[in-house]
Structure 1
Amino acid sequence: MVNVRDLDPSASPLSYYGSELRRLREAAGLRQAQLGEIVYCTGSLIGQIETAKKVPTRDFSERIDAALMTGGVFSRLIGLVLRSQLPNWFQPYAEMEAKAAYISTYQSQMVYGLLQTEAYARAVMATGLPDNLEELVAARMDRQRLLTRERPPMVWVVLDEAALCRPIGSSKVMRAQLEHLLSFRRERWVRIQVLPFAAGEHASLIGSFNALRFDDDPDIVYTEDLISGHMTANPETVKEAALRYAHLQASALSVEDSAELIMRVMEDRYGDRTGHGRRALA
């Protein structure tokens, strides 16, 4: 195990978090086990976090702030810590995403990351067999906090019907995911359109992409390949992406008809097969 006295606070956000936790705990005159009792966890967990062997959660951070009366130090640090768990190539995009005033995305195979449930995200990420699955899931869930901040970005999603029909995780996971999509009907800053199979060939058969618009910076287009992601502010690329997105929106169902299709798929494909709890659509 790493000796906490040998831990380099500048090595990573997680290492800095751990060193600060140890420093403030010791300043409060508490042993690891004593602090663990106060915040309802084991002293072993405190030790693992102090030695950067375990990634803390936002809930843990808030409890530590209250216990050590830090003024919110760890609640502010945790976003940086969780973001550092994302793949290195994705971190710059996540930073830009958090600053965007308007996000538009076309997703051809799966639900957009900012709209995924935790169970759906875990099933998606598990396909890559990562060693840090839970940390990746926690980081994705933390990214979604931008949708609940005081001034969230406008998010417009065109979702291919394939993403609704592809069973990821289980029927229970998919049903909960589609219910989650439907819950955004109440949020005026999120709009979801479904591109139906009936649309046939369309403007982005080549795959998914995101476009970010900012108040004071150039627009950005983001795409991913098998290995990593790519951002560009090239004006011609941004213009081409905007044109293709306009065509996708025109080919997609209206927001209202999209919600009806999502509900229909949820009931027909992932409904209660015993007949209990099924809802009439008419």
Structure 2
Amino acid sequence: MLVVKNLADASGDDHGSEGATAGRGSVRFLHSEAAPSAQRLRLGLHLRELRLRAGLKQGEVARRLGASESKVSRIETGTFKAKPAFLEALFDAYVVHDAAERARLREIAGEVNEAAWWQPWKGVSQPYLQALVSCEDLAVRVKSYEPQCLHGLLQTSAYGQALIRRGRGGPEAHEELWKFRAERQRRFTEDTGKSFIGVVDESALRRTVESSAVMREQIEHLLELMDDARFQLRLAEQFNPRVHSEIGPLTIFDFAEPIMPSVACAELFDGSVVYQDAEMVDRRIVKFDALRVASLAPDATRRKLQQLRTLYK
């Protein structure tokens, strides 16, 4: 099931919105179908920029190439792969004569067509999760607030596996899902160009997962992560009236390329809501920043974590 609610015209062709907010015109609820992967969306935004530079509308491009307007639109929004021959036809339509520019776009398209590293786990991981991981791979900064449990990039093996066992599938599927999550962690941690800015909710640490031993180890892991400058963690106190947790579970992906706008998502019980609408994303960024400011500063967070660790003996 894939539900797409258009909040603004993604193409901008008929509403005069061909400017900087291109590609941020929808909210998607994802369940059994993947969102536009970050890599496909990246290529689509580059192609859209070329079309606008050429002064063409999607309908004009479709007529010239003998394709449907929806095909051009889906390529630009990252929901459809552009085959090599069609890509070359787009270059011609957009009058892209520069060999270096064509080569760069072909390289981006090549990344889209490469088998994803998570291919071995496609059978056990849901498509919406694969879509979110594609954003995680391309992002240079991940911001997150999880009010009920810890973000996957912060979990220990024991804590993460305990959560996975609560879900669907049997022991073999659970083991494979943890391997998938562990590989996510490894790839993120080893990429020195990435950073994680997280707000950890105190209630998530007071809610025992599996056992006291698991929780103690998990809190110790958070303390270790705080020694890494790339992991910036703050704790939202449970009884602090300044902490407004109504924002709910939220992850924001920031990308290095200016053409890629930030994407916000909320992972739910059986799917995910992905926000690409500029206003909605910006509003969530403001709320996240306010929550972070209201949370404990790093030194106070460290002291609070040490205090919470004593609860689990």
Secondary structure in structure 2 of the residue aligned to 1:147: helix
TM-score (norm 1): 0.65
Aligned to 1:177: 218
**For 1:88 and 1:135, how far apart are their aligned partners in 2?**
15
Counterpart of 2:188 in structure 1 is 147
- 1:241 paired with 2:284, answer yes
Q: Report whether the alignment pairs 1:232 with 2:232.
A: no
Contact 1:153 1:189 in 2 (8 A): yes
Please list, as runs of the form range in 1=range in 2, the aligned pairs for 1:60-209 lying within 5 A after superposition: 79-82=118-121, 85-131=124-170, 132-200=173-241, 202-209=243-250
For residue 205 of structure 1, give the secondary structure of its aligned residue in structure 2. helix
Counterparts of 1:257 and 1:100, CA distance in 2: 28
Conservation of the 8 A alpha-carbon contact between 2:242 and 2:294: no
Q: How far is 1:224 from its partner?
A: 2.2
- What CA distance in whole angstroms lies between the structure 1 residues aligned with 2:269 and 2:166? 13
Q: Which residue does 1:33 correspond to in 2?
A: none
If asked which structure has higher relative contact order (CA below 8 Å, sep 6+), I would say 2
Aligned to 1:221: 264
| Distance verdict in 2 for CA 1:202–1:83, change over 3 Å | farther
- Tell me the alpha carbon deviations over residues 43-71 of structure 1, each in whole angstroms, 9 at most, x when there is no partner: xxxxxxxxxxxxxxxxxxxxxxxxxxxxx
CA contact (8 A) 1:146 1:152 kept: no
SS of alignment partner, residue 273 of structure 2: strand
SS in 2 for 1:155: strand
The range that moved more, 93-102 or 197-206, is 197-206
Q: Aligned partner of 1:260: which letter?
A: R
Structure 1: runs of 5 or more not aligned: 1-75, 272-282
Residue identity matched to 2:124: Q
Q: Is the 8 A contact 1:168 1:174 kept in 2?
A: yes
The amino acid that maps onto 2:241 is G
| Kept after mapping to 1: 8 A contact 2:140/2:194 | yes
Q: Is the Cα contact below 8 Å between 2:223 and 2:302 reproduced in 1?
A: yes
Stretches of structure 2 lacking an aligned partner (at least 5 in a row): 1-114
Q: 2:312 is aligned with what amino acid?
A: Y
Alpha carbons of structure 1 residues 128 and 191: separation in structure 2 relative to 1, 3 Å: same
Cα distance in 1 for partners of 2:248, 2:116 equals 35
- How much has 1:169 moved relative to structure 2? 1.1
Paired with 1:83 and 1:141, the residues of 2 have a C-alpha distance of 15
Per-residue CA distance 1:26-48 (angstroms, 9 max, x = gap): xxxxxxxxxxxxxxxxxxxxxxx
- Partners of 1:191 and 1:146 in 2: how far apart? 18
Cα distance in 2, alignment partners of residues 174 and 261 from structure 1: 14
Number of residue-to-residue matches in the alignment: 195
Whether contact under 8 Å (1:110, 1:163) holds in the other structure is yes
Would you identify which runs of 4 or more consecutive aligned residues in structure 1 move more than 6 Å? Answer: none
Would the aligned equivalents of 2:216 and 2:312 in 1 still touch at CA under 8 Å?
yes
TM-score (norm 2): 0.59
Aligned to 1:26: none
TM-superposed deviation, 1:84: 5.5
CA contact (8 A) 1:84 1:91 kept: no
In 1, Cα distance between equivalents of 2:268 and 2:230: 29
**Structure 1 residue 81, shift from structure 2 partner:** 1.5
| CA displacement at 1:123 relative to structure 2 | 0.8
Shift of 1:116: 0.2
Shift of 1:190: 0.4
Q: State the superposition RMSD in angstroms.
A: 1.8
Calculate percent identity across the aligned residue pairs.
25
- Kindly indicate whether the alpha-carbon contact (under 8 Å) linking 1:161 and 1:194 is maintained by their aligned counterparts in 2: yes
Counterparts of 1:171 and 1:130, CA distance in 2? 25
